[in-house]
Structure 1
Amino acid sequence: MAAITPPALSAIPTPASGNGCRRQPADQHILSLLDDHSALGAPELKQVHARILRLGLFDNTYTASRLLTAWAIPPSRNLHHALQVFDQMSHPNLYSWNILIRAHAACQPELSLRIFSGMLADSPHSPDRFTFPFILKSAAELVMFREGSALHGLVIKSPFHSDIFILNSLVHFYAACGYLDLARLVFDHIPQRDVVSWNSMIAALARADLCDDALDLFEAMNQHGVLPNDITMIGILSVCGKKGDLELGRSMHSYIKLNRIPECLILDNAILHMYAKCGSSSDARLLFDTMKEKDSISWATMVFAYAKSREFDAARTMFDEMPSPDIAAWNALISGYEQNGRPREALAAFRELQNTNTEPDQITLVAALSACSQLSAIESGESIHFYLKTTSFDMNRHLATALIDMYSKCGDLEKAIRVFRSVENRDVFVWSAMIAGLGMYGRGKEALNLFQEMLEAKVKPNHVTFTNILCACSHAGLIEEGRLYFSEMQSLYKIAPAIEHYGCMVDILGRAGRLEESLRLINSMPVPPPSSVWGALLGACAVHGDVELGELAGEKLLRLEPRNDGAYVLLSNLYARAGRWEDVGLLRKRMKDQGLKKEAGCSSMEVGGVVHEFLAGDASHLLSEKIYKKLGEMMARLKNAGYEPKKTQVLQNVEDEHSKERALNLHSEKLAIAFGLIRTDGAGLIRIQKNLRICEDCHAMAKLVSDVYEREILIRDRYRFHHFEGGRCSCGDYW
C-alpha cells in the first residue's frame, strides 16, 4: 500500500470569507485528518490540535474525542497530551473514557485502573463491552486478583455478562493470577466459544506447565470443530518443547502443513524453538535453511539449538556468522552454555559481551548469575550485583530470585537474606528461593518460619515451594514436620505430590535411618517409582550400611537406568564398607565392560575472579608444590591436635595402613583447603565447592582445621552447605 501523505495544514479551509464563496466547514476537514490520524506525525498533530483550539471546535465532544484518540493511540501516542486533552473536556463521553483506559492498559496499567475508578465515581457512564476487556487486561498485568474479581462481579451485574470478548478477557485474567481453576470455570461457561476462547485457555495451561491438560484441550477444540490458527499452534508448540517430546513436535509441524495454517515468521520461530527445546538441532537447521524470512530471533534460536544438543562449536560458529548479533543472540549463547553444563564458558561469553556496545538485559544477567551459582563464583556474582546497583535496572522479582540463589549457593546466606528483604513485591519464586537457601544451610526451622510468613503475605505456594520445604526438613532432620507438609500438600493446598516430593520424603526418612518406612512410601506411590526415588533410597542405604535393602534399590535403579554410574558407585561403596571386596570387583568390572567411569571428585574455589579446580591427587596446579607442602604441614599439625584418619572411608581393598592414610590425604577437599590457607587472607572465609558428597574423614578434618587454624571454612557439596567454625559444623554432623 502506498504511503498516505497528510495534506498541508495551510490548506485547511477556514469558515466562508466575505466574497460569498461557499466553503466546506472547517470542522469537516479537521475531522477527516483526525480520522486518518495514523498518517500524522507528532508535529502535524500538534498543529491540528492548535487549529482546533483556535477555531473553537474543542467544545464539540465528538471533535475532542477524535483528538484524544489521535494522542492516545500510536503512532503519535503521547499519554501526557492525551490526559491533558481529557482533563479539558467538559463532558467526556463513554468513548473517551474507553480510549483513555485502553491507551494506559498497554503501558501504564496502574493508571488505567485509576482512570476506571474515576469513571465509576465521577461520570454518568457505565462500563460497556469495550471497557471491561481493557480494564481486565490491566488487572491481569498487575496480577491484582481482588480487583479483577470485583470487576467480574460488575460484569455479572451488567448487560454484558455473556459477551464473549469479556469472558475471554476473564479467562486470561484468572490464568495470569494463577487461578487456573477459575479460568477453566469461566471458559466452561462461555456459551459460544470462539478460537480466542480456546487459545486463551490453552495458552494458560501451557504457561502453567500443565502440558497434558493443554494437549487434551487442543484435542477437544478439534472435536468441537473449531479450526486452530497460528496462535493456537504457538501455544501447542510450546507444550511440545516443554515436554521435550520430539515426535509430538514433529507431528504438530506436520499438522500445521496439512491444515494449511498460514506461515508467518512468528510461527516459524515457534517451530524452530520447539525443535531447539526438544534437542534436535538437525530438525531446527532443516527448517532454518528453508525459512523465507529470518530475524535475529531465528538466528538466536539456532544458537540455542546447537548448545542444547551440546554442539558447542557449532553454536559458537552460528553466533559468529550472524550479520550483527543483538542481545537476543548473546542471551542464546550465554544461556545455552549455562543451561547445558558449561557455566565457565557462559561467564566468559558474558565478559566478552561487556566489551561490546551491546547492553545486557534481564535475561543476560539472570543467566550470568546462574553460571556464578553453579561455579560458586561469588566475586563474579558480586560484580554483577554491583552492575545492577549502578545502572538503571529495576530490581524485579526475576533478578531478585537469581541474586538470592547466587548468594545462597556461593556461601553468603546473609547477603541473600538482605536481597530478599529489600524486595517489595515478592512473588512465589522469590519466597521459594529464600526458603531453599535457608534449607541448604541446615536452618530448617527458619525455612519453615519463612514459609509461614509467606502464607501470611497471601502468597500461594507452588510445587517448587514444597520441594524446597521438604529439602529443608531433610537437611535439618525435621521428620515430623516433613510428614506434615507432605500430607498437607494435597489436602490443604491442592497440590498433588509429584515425583520430586516423594523423592524428598524418601530422603527425609532415609537420612533418619527409617529405611523400611521409606520403602513402604515408595510402594504406595500412585505411579511407578522413577530412578530418582530409588536413588534416594540407595543413597540412604549407603549411609546406614543396609546392604540387603541397598541391593534391592540398586537393582531397581539399574533396571531403569542401566548406565547410571552413580548407582554403581553407591553400591560399590556399600559393599566396600561391608568388606565385600569380591562384589566390589564385580561391579567395577561391569562398569568397565559398559565403558562407565566413576565421576572424579573435584573441589573448586574462586580467588581473584579466577576459579581454581582440584581433583583427587591432582598435581597439575601451578602452585602444586606449595599446596602439597602446606598439606603435609597441615596434616602434621592436625595429628598433634588429635586428628585420627577415618580409614574406613578408603573404598579400595588396601591393606597397608600408610597407603590408606595417603589415599585419604589426597582427597580434593584437602587440596582445596591447603590452597585456601596459602592464597586467602588470614582472616578470610575459605569457600569451596565439591561436586560429590563430602566424606566423613574430610568432614572431620575440616572441623579440626577451623579450630586449629582459626579459620571459617564453607564447603558446598552436592547436597548442602557445611559451615565449619571453631571445630563445629553447621550440619551438626547430620548430612
Structure 2
Amino acid sequence: MAAPSIPLTISPTVNNDRHFANHPTVTLIEKCSNPQQLKQIHAQMLRVGLFFDPFSASKLIQSSALSQFSSIDYAHKVFDQIPQPNLYSWNTLIRAYATRSHPLNCLSIFSRLLQDCPEKPNKFTYPFVITALAKLKDLELGKGIHGMAVKEGFSSDLYVANCLIHFYVECGCLDMASRVFSNMPERDVISWNSIIDGMAQNGLFDETMEIFCRMEEEGVRPNDITMVGVLTACRRVKVDVRFGKMVHSYIEKNRIKQSLILCNAVLDMYTRCGGVHEAKMFFDKMMEKDIISWTTMLVGYGSLGDFDAARGLFDSLPTKDIAAWNALISAYEQNGNPKEAVAVFNELRQSKTAKPDEVTLVSTLSACSELGAIKLGCWIHVYVKKEKMKLNCHLATALIDMYSKCGDLEKALGVFHSAEGKDVFVWSAMIAGLGMHGCGVYALEMFGKMDVKPTAVTFTNLLSACSHSGLVEEGRELFDQMERVHGVAPGVEHYACMIDILGRAGLLEEAMALIKTMPVAPGASVWGALLGACRLHKNVELAEEAWARLHEIEPRNHGAHVLLSNIYANSGLWEKVSEVRKRMRDVGLRKEPGCSSVEVNGRMHEFLVGDNTHPMSKKIYSKLEEIAERVKCEGYETKKSEVLQMVEEEDMQEKALSLHSERLALAYGLIALEPPTRRIRIVKNLRVCEDCHSVFKLVSKIYDRDIVLRDRYRFHHFKEGSCSCNDYW
C-alpha cells in the first residue's frame, strides 16, 4: 500500500521542537505491532496535521524504517512526502539503508542530505555512511568521506573512528586502519576488536598478537569477539596446535563468555591446526551447537582423511542444510575421493532436503573434472541455466575446467565467451584447457587478449601449453617476459615448465644449463621434468644424474623409480632394471597401477591392467582379440620397446601390451557406445604408452570413431587415424 498523498493546501511547519511529543497519536507509534496499525496512524497524522511537524514525522519514519515489521520502501515513500525533514529523519533513512545491505541507496540519500537539508551531517550520520562504503569497498570515496568527517570535527568521535577502522580493514588498507586506531583519543573494546580482526583476517599473526598484548597492557578486558579475532589469526597461519591450546586455556582462565560464535572459532582453530582429536573433545563438551559447529567438525574429519567419521557425523546431524552437504562433498573432493563426492551429490539430488548452491556445484564440477564425468557436468550446467543462477567467475571457471578436462573444448570455449566480467581465474582456466588439448598457438592468442593482470598460475598454464605444442621459442620469450614485462617472478614451477619445453625438444644441455642458473634450489618437479625428457631421448647418463638429485628430495617417489627403470629397459640394460626394482621392493615402494575409465550412460566404468572383474569381461576380451586382428591387417606391429620388463616370447610381449587398462576401456567403449554415438571418452591415470597410442589411432580409423583420451599430462583426440598431438607428447 502506498503512503497517503499530502494535501498541497496545508502549509508545513518546519522546526525541531517537540511540542507534540506527548500527543496521543504520536505516542501510539511506539505501540504499533504491525504495518496496518502504522498506516492507520499515518493517515490520522495527515488528518490532524501532525505529519508536517518534523519531530512527529521523524518518529513515523523511525518506526517505518527500523521496527521489526518495517518496510524500507514504505519508509522512503513517507520520507519523500515530508516537505522539509529534520536531520533525525535523514539519519534514520540513511541508517536503514546502510544496515539492510543497500549501500548505494544509503549514499544516494546522503548526497541528497548534503544538497537539501539545512542542517549539516552530524556524528550520527557519518558512521552509517562509512558502513555503507565498507560494504562497497570504495576506498577513494571513503577517504573523501573521512576527510569531511575530519573537517567537521567528528574524526575523534569514538563511533565514527570505529567505523573508519572497519572501513579501511574491509578495503584491505591496514596502514590507514592502524593510523586511525593510533590517533584515537579514546578506545573501547570495539576499537581493539576491529583492528585485531583486520590484522587476523589478513593473516598478520605477529601484528595481531602484538595488538592483543597492548590491549591487555592498557587494561582493556577482551571479550568473546576479541578472542574470535585471535583464533582467526591462529587458524590463518595454522599455528602449532599447542599454541592454540594456550589461547583456549586463556579464554577459560579469564572466564571470557564462551558464546556460540567463540566456541565455533575454537573448534575451527583446532580443525585447521591439526588438532582434530582436541576438536572432537571440545565438540562433545559444547553445551550449544549450530549447523556451523557440526559442519566445522565434519570438515575436520575430512581434512584428516577420516571419511568414516565424517560420514557418521553427517548422518547424525539433526538437520542437514546445504552447508552440511557442501562440507561432506568438499571433504571428499579435496582429499582425492571424487567418486564419493559425486555419490554424495547424487544423494543430495534424490533427498531434496536442500537445494544445491554455488559452492555445491563448484565442488561437484571439480569432482567431475577429476573423473571425466561429462554427463553429470552437463547436467549441472543445465541446472545453472534452469535455476537462472548468475554465471559468476567461480562457476564459469569450474565449468571451463570441467569441460576442458572431460574433453569437450568447444563447450569450454562456449562457457568462456558467455561469462561476463571475466577475472584472471576464468582466463587462466581457458588457457589451461587449450594447452592440455595441444592448442598452444590459440592459448598464446588468448593470452594476448587478456584484459586483466596475469598471475603466476597464468604463466604456468601458458608455459605448459607451449610444452605440449612444441613451441620452444614462444616458451623462451614468455619466460623472459614474466618479470621484465608483467612483474611476475618465475617460481620453481615455471622453471620446471621450461625444462619440460627444452627437454621434449631434445635440448637437454640447454635444460641442464638453465637448472644451474636457477636463483632457488631446483625442486622435485624440475628434476622430474628432466628425467622425463631423458626417457624420450634415451639419455641414460643424464637420467641417472636427474634421478639421483630427485631421489635426494623425494626418496619415496615411486614414479621416479619406475621412470628410471623404463629408461634402462628402453636401452636394454636389464641388470640395472633389476637393481631398481629390487631397491623398490626393499624399501616397500610399489608402482602405481594403470587405471582407465570410460563413461557410459552417466556411469564410470573402471579398468586396471589385465582386469577381469567387469561383468562383461568375456565380451571385452573377445573385442580385444578382434581389435588385434583388425589393426594387424592395417600394418600394425607391436612396439617391443614398450614392454618394459624382460619378456622373451613375442606372443607374451604382445599380450602384455594388449592388457593395458586403456585398451580394456576402449574395448568396452566400442561395445557399449554403439553408433550413432561416435565419441568414446577415456581417462587414464598414467601417461599413455607409444604402442597404445598407435593402436588408438588405427582403431579410430577402422571403427570410424572419435576417441578422446586424457592421460596424466594431456589430451589425445584420435580421429580418422590421426591424433591431435601429432605424435608430440
Q: Pick the TM interval, shorter chain.
A: 0.7 to 0.9
- Is the 1:545–1:578 Cα contact (8 Å) retained in structure 2? yes
- Is the 2:678–2:704 Cα contact (8 Å) retained in structure 1? no
1:391-447 per-residue CA deviation (whole Å, 9 max, x = no partner) reads: 253333322222222212111121122222222233333333222222222223333
- Is the 1:603–1:691 Cα contact (8 Å) retained in structure 2? yes
2:349 to 347, 351, 354: 354
Query: What letter matches 1:658 in structure 2?
Result: D
Q: Distance in 2 between matches of 1:56 and 1:166?
A: 38
TM superposition shift of 1:388:
2.3
Q: Is the partner of 1:364 in helix, strand or coil?
A: helix
Q: Distance in 1 between matches of 2:190 and 2:423?
A: 28
Q: 1:26 to 1:387 in 2, by over 3 A?
A: same
TM superposition shift of 1:604:
0.5
Partner of 1:412: 408
Partner of 1:17: none
Q: Distance in 2 between matches of 1:339 and 1:495?
A: 28
TM superposition shift of 1:201:
6.9
Q: Percent identity, please.
A: 52
Give RMSD over aligned pairs: 3.3
1:674-728 per-residue CA deviation (whole Å, 9 max, x = no partner) reads: 1111111424211111111122222222222222322211111122222222332
1:189-248 per-residue CA deviation (whole Å, 9 max, x = no partner) reads: 43437676776677667667xx4xx12322443465577765565455455545555435
Q: Distance in 2 between matches of 1:718 and 1:378?
A: 18
Within 5 A, what are the aligned runs for 1:565-576?
565-576=558-569
Query: What letter matches 1:477 in structure 2?
Result: G
Q: Is the partner of 2:681 in helix, strand or coil?
A: strand
- Is the 2:209–2:230 Cα contact (8 Å) retained in structure 1? no
Q: Distance in 2 between matches of 1:32 and 1:491?
A: 71
- Is the 2:208–2:233 Cα contact (8 Å) retained in structure 1? no
Partner of 2:270: 275
Q: Is the partner of 1:107 in helix, strand or coil?
A: coil
Q: Distance in 2 between matches of 1:435 and 1:204?
A: 35
Q: 1:732 to 1:33 in 2, by over 3 A?
A: farther
Partner of 1:563: 556
- Is the 2:431–2:461 Cα contact (8 Å) retained in structure 1? yes
Q: 1:223 to 1:674 in 2, by over 3 A?
A: same
**Does 1:539 pair with 2:532?**
yes
1:661 to 654, 675, 678: 654
Within 5 A, what are the aligned runs for 1:29-108?
40-73=33-66, 75-105=68-98, 106-108=100-102
Q: Distance in 2 between matches of 1:722 and 1:351?
A: 30
TM-score of the superposition, structure 1-length normalised? 0.85
Q: Distance in 2 between matches of 1:187 and 1:491?
A: 33
Q: 1:501 to 1:254 in 2, by over 3 A?
A: farther
- Is the 1:369–1:406 Cα contact (8 Å) retained in structure 2? yes
Q: Distance in 2 between matches of 1:498 and 1:88?
A: 63
Partner of 1:303: 298
Q: Distance in 2 between matches of 1:61 and 1:339?
A: 60
2:208 to 212, 215, 218: 218
Partner of 1:401: 397
TM superposition shift of 1:518:
4.0
1:168 to 140, 165, 169: 165
Partner of 1:180: none
Q: Distance in 2 between matches of 1:95 and 1:643?
A: 89
Partner of 1:625: 618
1:108-139 per-residue CA deviation (whole Å, 9 max, x = no partner) reads: 34444544555566666766666566555555
**Does 1:149 pair with 2:140?**
yes
1:522-558 per-residue CA deviation (whole Å, 9 max, x = no partner) reads: 4555544443343333333333333333333333333
Partner of 1:590: 583
Partner of 1:4: none
Q: Distance in 2 between matches of 1:130 and 1:474?
A: 61
Partner of 1:733: 727
- Is the 2:640–2:653 Cα contact (8 Å) retained in structure 1? yes
Q: Distance in 2 between matches of 1:125 and 1:494?
A: 50
Q: 1:519 to 1:308 in 2, by over 3 A?
A: same
- Is the 2:201–2:236 Cα contact (8 Å) retained in structure 1? no
**Does 1:504 pair with 2:500?**
no
1:716 to 697, 710, 715: 710
Query: What letter matches 2:411 in structure 1?
Result: K
TM superposition shift of 1:672:
1.3
Q: Distance in 1 between matches of 2:74 and 2:326?
A: 37
Q: 1:416 to 1:99 in 2, by over 3 A?
A: farther
Partner of 1:319: 314
Bigger mean CA deviation after superposition, 51-60 or 435-444: 51-60
Q: 1:32 to 1:486 in 2, by over 3 A?
A: farther
Query: What letter matches 2:267 in structure 1?
Result: L
Within 5 A, what are the aligned runs for 1:515-526?
515-526=508-519
Partner of 1:19: none
Q: Distance in 2 between matches of 1:577 and 1:171?
A: 63
Q: 1:626 to 1:254 in 2, by over 3 A?
A: same
- Is the 1:538–1:554 Cα contact (8 Å) retained in structure 2? yes
Partner of 1:186: 176
Query: What letter matches 1:298 in structure 2?
Result: S
Q: 1:442 to 1:111 in 2, by over 3 A?
A: farther
Partner of 2:10: none
Query: What letter matches 2:684 in structure 1?
Result: K
Bigger mean CA deviation after superposition, 244-253 or 433-442: 244-253
Q: Distance in 2 between matches of 1:561 and 1:123?
A: 72
Q: Is the partner of 2:718 in helix, strand or coil?
A: strand
TM superposition shift of 1:603:
0.7
Query: What letter matches 2:399 in structure 1?
Result: L
Q: Is the partner of 1:58 in helix, strand or coil?
A: helix
- Is the 2:540–2:568 Cα contact (8 Å) retained in structure 1? yes
Q: Is the partner of 2:318 in helix, strand or coil?
A: coil
Q: 1:189 to 1:467 in 2, by over 3 A?
A: farther
Q: 1:619 to 1:153 in 2, by over 3 A?
A: same
- Is the 1:326–1:358 Cα contact (8 Å) retained in structure 2? yes
Q: Is the partner of 1:590 in helix, strand or coil?
A: helix
Q: 1:221 to 1:443 in 2, by over 3 A?
A: farther
Q: Is the partner of 1:557 in helix, strand or coil?
A: helix
**Does 1:391 pair with 2:384?**
no
Q: Distance in 2 between matches of 1:204 and 1:518?
A: 45
1:546-579 per-residue CA deviation (whole Å, 9 max, x = no partner) reads: 3333333333333333322222222222222232
TM superposition shift of 1:319:
1.4
Partner of 1:448: 444
TM superposition shift of 1:521:
4.4
Q: 1:635 to 1:223 in 2, by over 3 A?
A: same
TM superposition shift of 1:487:
4.6
Query: What letter matches 1:444 in structure 2?
Result: G
Q: 1:107 to 1:25 in 2, by over 3 A?
A: closer
Q: 1:83 to 1:603 in 2, by over 3 A?
A: same
Partner of 1:345: 340
- Is the 1:171–1:200 Cα contact (8 Å) retained in structure 2? no
Query: What letter matches 2:266 in structure 1?
Result: I
1:313-353 per-residue CA deviation (whole Å, 9 max, x = no partner) reads: 11111112222222222222221112112211111111212
Partner of 2:368: 372
- Is the 1:246–1:275 Cα contact (8 Å) retained in structure 2? no
Q: Distance in 1 between matches of 2:89 and 2:726?
A: 67
Q: Is the partner of 2:52 in helix, strand or coil?
A: coil
TM superposition shift of 1:638:
1.7
Bigger mean CA deviation after superposition, 511-520 or 307-316: 511-520
* Structure 2: gaps of 5 or more residues: 1-18
- Is the 1:542–1:570 Cα contact (8 Å) retained in structure 2? yes
Q: Distance in 2 between matches of 1:197 and 1:524?
A: 50
Query: What letter matches 1:652 in structure 2?
Result: Q
- Is the 2:131–2:163 Cα contact (8 Å) retained in structure 1? no
Q: Distance in 2 between matches of 1:142 and 1:132?
A: 15
Partner of 1:178: none
Q: Distance in 2 between matches of 1:202 and 1:487?
A: 42
- Is the 2:130–2:145 Cα contact (8 Å) retained in structure 1? no
